[in-house]
Amino acid sequence: MARTPAELVGAQPDPPFEITFDGRRITAVPGQSVAAALWAAGILSWRTTRTGGRPRGAFCGIGQCFDCLVTINGDPNRRACLVAARPGDAVTTQEGHGHDRLGV
């Protein structure tokens, strides 16, 4: 009989809520990081590299690297593994350095 971690500790979290990723609705739970919500939805990549446009997602999961950079509510360069998802967050793929106005 498989049980979830929440069931094992007897947790009673608040109800799930929705965020969007590139316009797609996904479900998150209170206290869940943006990266964890994306993973749970089967999304493994949410950034492209500056050179070559290679896909990136979470690598270390503890905020030491910068592979999980994402744009949240129009604010680029947020580490998805460190930011807690909030109801209504609009998360978008970050292209390169995340600052279109720099022209770099």
Residue-wise pLDDT tens digits, 27-45: 999 999 999 999 999 999 8
Between 1 and 45, residue with greater pLDDT: 45
CA–CA distance from 75 to each of 8, 21, 78 (Å)?
36, 14, 7
Residue 25 is predicted with a pLDDT of 98
Phi-psi region of 4 (alpha: psi -120 to 50; beta: other; left: phi over 0): beta
pTM of the model: 0.80
For residue 104, the model assigns a pLDDT of 41
Q: pLDDT per residue over 59-100, tens digit each?
A: 888 888 888 899 999 999 999 999 999 999 999 998 766 555
The CATH classification number of 14-96 equals: 3.10.20.440
